[in-house]
Structure 1
Amino acid sequence: MRANIKQRLLLGGTLLLAGGLSGGLVGCASHERVIVRETVVGQPVVRRMPAVIHEDRGPAPGYGWNWVQGHWKWEGNDWAWVHGHWVEHEVPVMPPVIVEQITVAPSPRHFWVPGHWVWRAEGRHEWFWVRGGWHI
């Protein structure tokens, strides 16, 4: 009989403890929906300029004439070749390309056009850096 009472107390305590724990867990349940979306960022599309076109410059038209080398220039939606030509003033060598960091594309439709040097014929007669940027 004594063993029977012990078993009942033990069983009752276990049920009481289990009921208390499950009652405590009920208050912790969450009914919020959690949606996880992973954005996969691919490699940006870069519209690199084509290879340089080697031009035959021929002889200078006269003393003091200098050659402006041909170069690629971004015009609207594509690269356009600007032919080399002779000018009657000093022409510095085209500076080295400036390495720019490509930023995050504004949309998947955008493509990156790298920065590049163009000859500024009017005014100061110099090489001018056109910064890279996103285009559609």
Structure 2
Amino acid sequence: MRIRIWMLALVPFAMIGCADETPPPVTTTTTTTTQEVTTGVPSSAVVTREVVVPQAPPSVRIEAQTVAPGPGYIWTPGYWRWSGRDYVWVSGSWVRPPRTTAVWVPGHWVSRGAGWIWVPGHWR
């Protein structure tokens, strides 16, 4: 009888290893960078106006083209954007075309009258 009481006293200690412990949750941090490119015909609700810039844009920069993020991406070269006060360089980037046969026609500046206007790039 003494042995049985002694064994009953040890049962809680024996059960300690049987507890169901849930491991702490794993935290994963992901950074996603996206670029939105308009690939369709602009809506009739969109109002645009031609801005004539009084000074010529700087020479186009020669950029080091990075490795494509995956198959099917097309490199769109950088360009000078008018900020309203001066030109700001917009770096080139990789984008997925709207269809496999699409070709990117880069935007460019055109001399018109007393200034320069921007002709935006588009898919053809």
Aligning the two structures, in what range does the TM-score lie when normalised by the shorter sequence? Answer: 0.3 to 0.5
Relative contact order, higher structure (CA 8 A, sep 6+): 2
Higher helix share: 1
**TM-score, scaled to structure 1:** 0.41
**TM-score, scaled to structure 2:** 0.45
Rg larger in 1 or in 2? 1
